[in-house]
Structure 1
Amino acid sequence: MEAIVLAGGYATRMWPITRHRPKMFLPVGDRTVIDGVFADLEADDRIDTVYVSTNERFAGEFESYLADSDFEKPTVSVEDTTEESEKFGVVGALAQLIEREGVDDDLMVVAGDNMLSFDVASFVDFFEDAGAPTLAAYDVGSRERAKSYGLVELDGTEVIDFQEKPDDPKSTLVSIACYAFPRETLPELDTYLSDDNNPDEPGWLLQWLQERQRVEAFTFDGAWFDIGTASSYLDAVDYALGGETLVADDATVTDSQLGESVHVMPGATVEDADLSETVVFPDATVRGASLERSVVDEAATVTGVSLTGSLIGQHSRIDSDD
């Protein structure tokens, strides 16, 4: 079995903190977003190769990251794009990677910005027993939130209806970006694309498949985070930290109040500040400020202000005189 980790997005909704880094490298506790996916795939002996599908702009960062890691399976496979407007779409990129890399095996596909509470091995077990295209499904608990995803209706574990981003969801069970395809279904991607179907959202592909063959759903409890916005990222940090505070040994924190889910990273300085649900990146400085649900990127300085829901870019400077 082969696996593809989708990591080709530019995360424009999270700029400036993702303007110069893949969002998969954002820290969640003591590891990055993508580390959990890599670790699960690495541990499953059924998976031979992990292709990291990314763009030309971030390819070098992924290659350097993997070279310095203990992961042995991942290999970078590069889309020919450098900007959001040039993207082929997720399904288009998948079809190109399968052709480019000569993939001819059962295939698992998972988004690198997924933070999952289940072990990938459990998903692969389910897929092998099902012997059919399989998706992972999660109850988001909110009809409003369900509008942003592919809604699935099940008969047992079989998907009997699939609606991509419905205006009026009938339930809250949605498909997440974790799929598995038997080898014999891989040519269907080209058939799907040749019919001028939506090349971007894989949910449309699953809906198209469900109308033509059996599709199974692996459901799970626990937690799932689709890290596409600053809010979802901070929710993932909160989950990873369990509401606790994480301060690096070589960070400096003095005369400050650190509330729930605060992460202060190496080399950062926090003085006379009040922080809650906030991430302070390496070598950043927060002084005389109050921050809630905010991110202060590397080497940025925030002084004497009160901010909520803010993203402060690398090397930025914000103070009470601005």
Structure 2
Amino acid sequence: MADTTTAVVLAGGYATRLWPITRHRPKMLLPLGETTVIDRIYAELEALDRIEEVYVSTNERFAPDFEAHLEDRPYDKPRLSVEETEREDEKLGVVGALAQLIDREGLDDDLLVIAGDNLFNFALEEFFEYFDRREGPAIAAYDVGSRERATSYGVLELDDERVVGFQEKPDEPESSLVSIGCYAFPGEMLSLFDPYLEGGNDPDEPGWFVQWLQDREPTYAYTFDGAWYDIGTRRSYLDAVSWHLDGDSHVAESATVRDGSVGDDVHVMADATLVDADVERSVIFPAAHLGSTTVRDSIVDEEARISGFDLECALIGAHSRIPDDR
């Protein structure tokens, strides 16, 4: 194992399942109370002495958003590595982008790869201790509790702690233990990305690389209990917000709430106005206006205006008018 580790935070996706909320913003910058999804990762990496460099792997469309976000934060380590794509159909894939970054930056330290839309409550320092002890590739794994839920993820089969099988989003999973998108690779194994791709293997999902790798090198799974959320859908994002708020609600001081109610697991941001509105388990972005409405399990983007129309399980884009009275 190397004395230092380079981190790559994967932030190159277009989050189409969360459109229109993420049509013009990266999902990693979605708020969690006073912080964001990716800031939780930045803060932990900043505090780890063994991490010297943090590359934020993103795309041309969202690079300015990440750049502006980092300018307002106290972090010294993160810097952008920009994939030359602007649309979903141009993506190199996660493994392709990683291989390109490794070659471009000349990386040869141990490598931590972590999905920027990950919310988890294990300490990365503990993950590194496991990685060092095993002296081989390690991936973080979580039991999602049901095989039905596991169909959305990469499913692992273990022999003790060693990975002996992998299924990417299978229709009939062998287990409910899934990869969460957090990997550690010894520096001497970074050269394997190129032959993997040259062999015509899938460039997108890193789980396929893990499947290919575990047939060649002993690969281990670090399993943890507690919380994990993959911020990819309305439901998973609201689950993460609920976990972060711990049953409370967060209403910005500049927001106005009159003749209505704000229930549990609600985040109301700056300058939003709620008049005769009952809101539960939802996120209301800045300067949104809700009047004579009930909003449940929904996300309402900035400056949207909802009046006399109830919402449930909805994604409402910025500047929307419901009903449209313009």
TM-score range, shorter chain: over 0.9
Alignment check: 8 A CA contact 1:198 1:204 kept: yes
For residue 126 of structure 1, what is the aligned residue in structure 2? 130
Render the CA deviation track for 1:39-86: whole Å, top value 9, x for unaligned: 111111000000000001111111111111011110001000011110
For residue 135 of structure 1, what is the aligned residue in structure 2? 139
Note the C-alpha offset of 1:281: 0.5
Tell me: CA distance 1:206–1:285, structure 2 relative to 1, closer, same or farther (3 Å). Answer: same
Render the CA deviation track for 1:211-247: whole Å, top value 9, x for unaligned: 1110011110001001111111111111111121110
For residue 98 of structure 1, what is the aligned residue in structure 2? 102
For residue 160 of structure 1, what is the aligned residue in structure 2? 164
SS in 1 for 2:175: coil
For residue 218 of structure 2, what is the aligned residue in structure 1? 214
Alignment check: 8 A CA contact 1:294 1:310 kept: yes
Distance 2:282 2:237 in 1: 11
For residue 285 of structure 2, what is the aligned residue in structure 1? 281
Render the CA deviation track for 1:114-155: whole Å, top value 9, x for unaligned: 001111111111111111011000000010111121111222
For residue 255 of structure 1, what is the aligned residue in structure 2? 259
Distance 1:13 1:170 in 2: 26
Distance 1:249 1:301 in 2: 20
Unaligned runs of 5+ in 2: none
For residue 47 of structure 2, what is the aligned residue in structure 1? 43
The one-letter amino acid paired with 2:48 is D
Q: Are residue 179 (structure 1) and residue 183 (structure 2) matched?
A: yes
- For 1:319, which of 294, 318, 323 is the aligned residue? 323
The one-letter amino acid paired with 2:215 is E
Identical-pair percentage: 59
Note the C-alpha offset of 1:320: 8.3
- For 2:197, which of 171, 181, 193 is the aligned residue? 193
The one-letter amino acid paired with 1:285 is H
The one-letter amino acid paired with 1:200 is D
SS in 1 for 2:54: strand
Distance 2:158 2:129 in 1: 19
Query: Quick check: 122-131 or 43-52, which moved more?
Result: 122-131
For residue 267 of structure 1, what is the aligned residue in structure 2? 271
Alignment check: 8 A CA contact 1:162 1:210 kept: no
The one-letter amino acid paired with 1:166 is P
Distance 2:25 2:142 in 1: 28
The one-letter amino acid paired with 1:74 is P
State TM-score, norm by structure 1: 0.98
The one-letter amino acid paired with 1:25 is L
Distance 1:119 1:302 in 2: 41
Q: Are residue 224 (structure 1) and residue 228 (structure 2) matched?
A: yes
For residue 247 of structure 2, what is the aligned residue in structure 1? 243
Q: Are residue 292 (structure 1) and residue 322 (structure 2) matched?
A: no
Note the C-alpha offset of 1:156: 2.4
CA RMSD across the alignment? 1.2
For residue 83 of structure 2, what is the aligned residue in structure 1? 79
State TM-score, norm by structure 2: 0.97
- Count of aligned pairs: 322
SS in 1 for 2:62: helix
Alignment check: 8 A CA contact 1:135 1:179 kept: yes
Note the C-alpha offset of 1:23: 0.4
Distance 1:8 1:321 in 2: 37
Note the C-alpha offset of 1:257: 1.4
Alignment check: 8 A CA contact 1:279 1:294 kept: yes
For residue 9 of structure 1, what is the aligned residue in structure 2? 13
Note the C-alpha offset of 1:321: 6.8
Distance 1:319 1:167 in 2: 40
For residue 64 of structure 1, what is the aligned residue in structure 2? 68
The one-letter amino acid paired with 2:230 is D
